[in-house]
Structures are given as C-alpha cells and as structure tokens.
Amino acid sequence: MTTRSMQTPSSIPYTLAIFGVLFASICFGLVPYFSRGLTEQGVAPYAVAFYRYVVAATLLLPALFSQKESWREIAWGLSAGAVMGLGWIGYVKALETLPASTVGVLYMTYPVFTLAIAWALFADAPTRRSLLASSLIVLAAVIAGSPASIPIQLLPTLLIALAAPLGFGFGICVLVHRLSRITPLARMAAVSLGAVLGLAPLVLTADAAELLPQDRSDWLLIVGIGLVTALVPQLIYTVCAPVIGASQSAVVGSIELPTMFAVGFLAFGEAITAPQAIACAIVMGAIAINRSRKTRNVPTVLAKSPER
C-alpha cells in the first residue's frame, strides 16, 4: 500500500520563477571575478570553494533542525553538496591558468549532465526541446573552446574541470527531485553544509598561507564570493528551480556563459573572439527554445507518484 505526497503546488508564478533562476545564474557567472582575485593572492582552489559555501552553511544551519524528521532529504542534500563542493575545485583550478570564457564554455556542458542524471537516477526523461537546447549548448561549448585554442599541456586541467558541471548537474537533479519536501532554507543549508563537510579535510590539513589572502582588503573578495555568488543567488535558485523543473533550470541557467564572457572582458581584459560571440548567440537561442514551453514541475510529479 502506498500513499500520495501531500506536497502542494508552489505559489510562485512560473514566469517569476524563470526570472529568479535567470538572476541567480547571472550572479553565479560572477564567480570568476572573485575566484581569480583570491587565487592570485595565493589562496588555494579548495579554500576558495570552501569560502563560497561556508557563509550559507553557517547562517542557515538552524534551518536544518526544524526539518530533522526529513533525514532522507537532508542526506540527499548533504551528498549533493559534497559532490558540488569537490567538483568546484576543478573549476577554480582551471580559472588560474585559462581565460574565464574558456572555462565558462566548458562549465556550460552541465545541462547534458543534468539531463543524463535526471533520466538515469530519477526516471525523468528529457523532452525533445530540452535535448535540442542542450545539444545547442554543447555545440556552443565546442565552438568557443575548440582544441586549437587550448594548449595541449592544459588539457588535463580542462578534463578535471568537468567535475564542476557534473557536480552541478547532480545538484540540480537532487534539488528538483528530492529536496522539494523540505523548506527552501533547509534545502540550501543541507547542500551548503555538505559542500563544507566535503572540503573540510582539505582545509583542516592545509597551511595557513594557502587559506588566507595576503592583502587584508582582499577579505572583501571572500565576503563577495560567499554572499554575491552563493548565499543570495542560491536561495533564489533553491526556491525557483523546483517550480520550473530540472531541464528548464539547466537551460535557463546557461546565461552564466555570457556573464562569464563579460567578466573576462571587463575585469581581466580578455578579448572576446568571434567563435565565443557565436557561442553566446547559440546559448541564448537555446534558452529561447526551451522557454517557449513549460516542463513538468516537481510538485505535480510528486503528487502523482507514490512515496518510497
């Protein structure tokens, strides 16, 4: 005998949720500015990743206590956070030696990981529009990050950086398919705490010189990476992503790519090449394609599925 979930539909309008994910993703795209500023001061990549999650984990920890009966969901959130936090090390490491735009196009492969994981683990088959949009995003990544523009000695760095889109894709799927039964603050607290716990062994065994910036003024970068690129946008994303679904969240979130291009150009003086401009146009086209049709939202799916 099974029972049906009593999850009620979200009160957030679908269109507003779209713009919420869009805004949050733009904030995520600002990460290279803060990340490179810290690594240039000698801060280790895993420490940068730790700083990004520790603010939210600390401030929102009390939210988990009110949800302690939902231990399964919390365990899923902790697992997703650990995978995302460890995967993010590769992203930060790649930003040390590669242009933000190149790292960005590689990171934009996460819609493919999202669709594959959602299908394999949660039986959420992708729609034709989602497959088309994700294929376009992969095409954009190939165009902007062609092998001819990447030195051979840096290819291992790019391969390691794939852990970041893999982790984020897994995180999106867990957020959409497993965490909608707990409050948004508890969702975010679980994921952030999972990332902190996953990175803690590296931080606790590191030298102080690898953890702290040399210039005191650069502590503002730590505050910025914790608030501007994590706490605020993650909260918005956590609330809005379940409303529009995993596939839609992945594709709309691809606005990160042109944001990274803008950061590279304005903050680091990186020229935007013609292939990169074409890639941006393709990404925006993919967003337009998938926005033209709603995907299933999580509350609806849960209402129709037996609890396990």
Backbone Cα Rg of the chain: 19
d(CA 238, CA 175): 7
Residue 4 is assigned to a structural domain of this protein: no
Residue 303 is assigned to a structural domain of this protein: no
Number of domains in the chain: 1
Q: Widest CA span of the chain, in angstroms?
A: 62
d(CA 132, CA 37): 36
The answer, yes or no, to whether residue 304 has pLDDT greater than 60, is no
Q: What pLDDT, on a 0 to 100 scale, did the predictor assign at position 299?
A: 32
d(CA 275, CA 119): 31
- Please, which pLDDT band fits residue 137 given cuts at 50, 70 and 90? confident
For residue 282, CA distances in Å to 132, 231, 279, 289 come to 11, 29, 5, 10
- 93, 45 in Cβ contact below 8 A? yes
Show Cβ contacts of residue 35 under 8 Å, excluding neighbours closer than 6 positions.
48, 91, 92, 95, 225
Q: What is the pTM of this model?
A: 0.78
Task: Please name the residue that has the structure tokens 């074409």.
Answer: 278
Q: What pLDDT, on a 0 to 100 scale, did the predictor assign at position 10?
A: 59
d(CA 292, CA 207): 51
CA 231: distance to chain centroid? 12
Range of the domain at 49: 14-298
Residue 9 is assigned to a structural domain of this protein: no
Q: What phi and psi, each to the nearest 5 degrees, are found at residue 12?
A: -80, 125
Residue 276 is assigned to a structural domain of this protein: yes
209-258 confidence digits (pLDDT tens): 888 887 777 788 999 999 999 999 988 987 888 888 877 787 788 788 88
- Please, which pLDDT band fits residue 150 given cuts at 50, 70 and 90? low
Per-residue burial over 31-56, b = 16 or more CB atoms within 10 Å of its CB, e = otherwise = bbbbbbbbbeeebbbbbbbbbbbbbb
d(CA 295, CA 247): 7
